[in-house]
Amino acid sequence: MKKTSKQVQLSKGGIPSLSERMAWFREAKFGMFIHWGLYSILGRHEWVMNRERIPVKEYEALAKKFTAEKFDPKAWARLAKESGQKYVALTTKHHEGFCLFDSKLTKYTSVNSPARRDIVAEFVEAVRAEGLHVGLYYSLMDWHHPDGANCLHDLKARKRFVDYTHGLVREIMTNYGKIDYLFYDVPWPLKPNGWDSTKLNYMVRSLQPQILINNRSGWGVEGSLMPEDFDTPENSTRASADYRDWESCDTLNGSWGWNKADKEWKSVPNLLGKLVSCAGNGGNFILNVGPRGDGSIEEEAISSLRGMGDWLKRNNNGESIYGTERVNTEWMNFNPHGTSATAKGNTMYWHITRWYGKELWLGGLQMKVRSARIVSTGEKVKFKQTFKPTERLHLYDLPVNPPDKDMTVIALECESKPSQRLGAGHVWVDGVQ
Ligand code: GLC
């Protein structure tokens, strides 16, 4: 068959299998999301252009104020590392349409702003230098491009806009070396076949054979090759189907882009609880930072992230997160202790944010426990297992105060793979929950 210049060829080596490509991501568990753009100059949430109906011309003028004078990608990457995050993803273009990279297809870029910098290039280099994996976010929806909305009904507009989209994605997948992860966002107003998503992602994979692609270039639409590699629940740690990889994205306060009036910072134990819940359900947790317009990061954000990093590094609490697997527990909605559990092989890590003093009980265990220890102190814990015959674990002679102020982890070394069943009734009747 004759090849047109537009056809994409797969790289010689072909595409590694899903589990090969996923290996680092499944181990990593925790990443950093960064939302930065012109909206950060206003400091009123990244949807400000739409929510306040700012006309394109007026909004565009913000590009002249994009100086990025405090943009320090090395500091961002170091912060991610100190926070225990293993990868970082940056918004290369959010819904506002402003590109943080050099482009041959538009002048609406950071390189043409007073900053005169290719933010993506500097970001990628800094993240790589810290030994972290590199992620790029790209919003398909575009409020700035003249065809960004009327591409829905006007076929010529659609052709122009889809070519533009494929062209920009090609640029970010070509100009910055190896990219580990691509996070598409909001496919409004087209459906996957409108975007030509199959071809788009075929191109991405031909340029970056090892890349992981999220599910937002067309969710599960019949007949398409979607939903790509991993699911992306937002502000929720609900697991995807057990044959799907997933990552929950969340914010430190209530918005992704910098919002100077939003002071509702989530506490460190709350954020750790989300991380545990993701890991225990077989997913990852990517936590967002929204730098100010000048590129600096608020103290509150830094201290929440450092708090998480301290906990992860503190005497190996990280052992209960990195490389853990989906654990077969009956999810603890009515859970007295605060959070849930993760597992690795036959070890179950029980995460506790509410400490009751010298004794603790855990119900529903289906396996025998061989030994128990407090992860952050290494201290052995005494225990007894009773009731049918393993369902009631009683830990005793524990320290009166929580050994770890944010969240204490107890590792239970078990005889078989950890599993817990509770159900709604007080006991299980065979075959009835
Ligand atoms: C959304 C929002 C957006 C944010 C994103 C992060 O869909 O539109 O502003 O970038 O979620 O997942």
Mutate which of 256, 258, 262, 289 to test ligand 1's pocket (most atoms within 8 Å of Cβ)?
256
Residue range(s) of every CATH 2.60.40.1180 domain in the chain: 340-414
Residue 185 CB–ligand 1 contact under 6 Å: yes
Residue 147 near residue 158, CB atoms below 8 Å: yes
**From edge to edge, which strands make up the β-sheet containing 369-374?**
338-344, 347-352, 408-414, 369-374, 380-386, 392-396, 360-363
For the chain, the residue count is: 433
Domain 340-414 has CATH 3.30.70.270: no
Reply yes or no on whether the pLDDT at 3 is more than 50.
Answer: no
Sign of CA dihedral 351, 357, 358, 360: negative
Type and span of the H or E element at 169: helix 155-174
- Atom nearest to 232 CA in ligand 1: 12
Q: pLDDT tier at 4 (50, 70, 90 boundaries)?
A: very low
Q: Burial letters for 75-86: b for 16+ Cβ neighbours within 10 Å, e otherwise?
A: bbbebbbbbbbb
Reply yes or no on whether the pLDDT at 221 is more than 50.
Answer: no
Residue 341: closest CA among 264, 408, 416: 408
pLDDT in tens, 382-395: 999 987 888 899 99
Say how many Å lie between the first and final Cα of the chain, rounded.
59
Q: pLDDT tier at 428 (50, 70, 90 boundaries)?
A: low
> 174-183, 189-198, 420-429 — which one is most confidently predicted on average?
174-183
Lowest mean pLDDT among 159-168, 231-240, 290-299: 231-240
What integer pLDDT is reported at residue 5 of this predicted model?
41
Residue 353 near residue 273, CB atoms below 8 Å: yes
Distance from Cα 107 to the centre of ligand 1, integer Å: 24
- Give 13's contacts (C-beta < 8 A, 6+ positions apart): 209
Q: Which amino acid is it at 2?
A: K
Residue whose CA is closest, atom 4 of ligand 1? 256
Distance from Cα 75 to the centre of ligand 1, integer Å: 24
Residue 96 CB–ligand 1 contact under 6 Å: no
Residue 409 CB–ligand 1 contact under 6 Å: no
- Atom nearest to 185 CA in ligand 1: 7
Reported for 148-155, long-range contacts at CB under 8 A and 24+ positions apart, including other chains, are 148/97, 149/189, 151/189, 151/190, 151/194, 152/189, 152/190, 152/194
Backbone dihedral region for residue 48 (phi beyond 0: left; psi -120 to 50: alpha; all else: beta): alpha
Stretch 179-204: mean pLDDT: 93
Mutate which of 138, 181, 185 to test ligand 1's pocket (most atoms within 8 Å of Cβ)?
185
Distance from Cα 171 to the centre of ligand 1, integer Å: 22
Q: Burial letters for 171-180: b for 16+ Cβ neighbours within 10 Å, e otherwise?
A: bbbeebeebb
Stretch 125-131: mean pLDDT: 98
Residue 234 CB–ligand 1 contact under 6 Å: yes
Residue 256 CB–ligand 1 contact under 6 Å: yes
Residue 376 near residue 314, CB atoms below 8 Å: yes
* C-alpha span between 71 and 26 (Å, rounded): 30
Mutate which of 33, 234, 248, 288 to test ligand 1's pocket (most atoms within 8 Å of Cβ)?
234
What integer pLDDT is reported at residue 433 of this predicted model?
45
Residue 239 near residue 246, CB atoms below 8 Å: yes
Of all residues in the chain, what percent carry a pLDDT higher than 70?
Answer: 92
Residue range(s) of every CATH 3.20.20.80 domain in the chain: 5-320
Residue whose CA is closest, atom 10 of ligand 1? 256
Stretch 332-359: mean pLDDT: 87
* C-alpha span between 362 and 350 (Å, rounded): 9
Distance from Cα 46 to the centre of ligand 1, integer Å: 8
Residue whose CA is closest, atom 8 of ligand 1? 186
Stretch 414-430: mean pLDDT: 81
Residue 230 CB–ligand 1 contact under 6 Å: no
Residue 249 CB–ligand 1 contact under 6 Å: yes
What is the assigned CATH class of domain 5-320? alpha beta
Reply yes or no on whether the pLDDT at 339 is more than 90.
Answer: no
- Atom nearest to 183 CA in ligand 1: 12
